[in-house]
Amino acid sequence: MLITIRPAVEQDVDAIVEMVNRFAAQNIMLPRSEESVRRTLADWLVAVAFDPITGTERVAGFGSLVALSETLVEIRSLAIHEEFQGQGIGSMLVPALVEMARERDFEQVCALTLRPSFFTRLGFEIVDRWSISPKVWQACIYCAKFHRCDEVAVLMPLVARPAKEEIKAPAWNGLLRYDAWQPLKLAYQRKVDEPAKVR
């Protein structure tokens, strides 16, 4: 099998939606509608497996970029088909997505992940989840695991930092005002601190 990374096209939509929603049913990722994928198709990359014997190709994996601000973009809906996992396809997709973010002049790229070690091997740093844009929560609030989230936030700077830049606390990355994310954080914490209700 020959694996190549390319921009997603209309013919990939069905495969993307089917795989995303299959993983979503396992609480591994958030579901996506066909309309949302089609509307954002220019933000997706797919890994295609080409079989030289049969001359056919299959979507083996994919990922997308979602802008959170003018300077910060998130890698989202990163998935590898079960038959192709463990073959390094994710390690091909993420750098390609990072390069696409760099070409679009973003200064930072982030992700929420269940596998932080995968991202740190690719140059990301683990950060406080509240240090990234509150826009990331616009999708997360629909997740069944929102109030018991086990995902880890990772971040990669795409521009060189000034040599004498003051080091800031992990929970503050200079992109957010305190009042922009504090209500979300407090609401999340209140829910976590509530005693479990017996139904």
Q: How far is CA 36 from CA 12, 85, 96, 139, in A?
A: 13, 25, 22, 12
Q: Tell me the average pLDDT across 22-34.
A: 89
199: in domain: no
Identify whether 87 is part of a domain: yes
How many Å apart are CA 30 and CA 20, to the nearest integer? 7
Residue 118 confidence class, pLDDT cut points 50, 70, 90: very high
Q: Is 196's pLDDT higher than 60?
A: no
Q: What is the mean pLDDT of residues 40-48?
A: 97
**What is the predicted pLDDT for the residue at 185?**
54
In a domain, 96, yes or no: yes
What's the average model confidence in pLDDT over 26-48? 93
Does some domain include residue 139? yes
Domain for residue 198, yes or no? no
CB 129 within 8 A of CB 114: no
Give the domain CATH number at 106: 3.40.630.30
90 with 62: CB under 8 angstroms?
Answer: no
**Stretch 35-43: mean pLDDT:** 96
Mean of per-residue pLDDT scores for the chain: 81
Lowest-pLDDT choice from 77-86, 95-104, 117-126, 169-178? 169-178
Position 75 in a domain: yes
pLDDT of residue 165: 52
Residue 164 domain-assigned? Answer: yes
- Asked if residue 7 is part of any domain, the answer here is yes
What is the pairing mode between strands 108-113 and 2-7? unpaired
Q: 104-117: per-residue pLDDT in tens? A: 999 999 998 889 99
Considering its fold, how many domains does the chain have in total?
1
Give the structural domain span for 58: 2-193
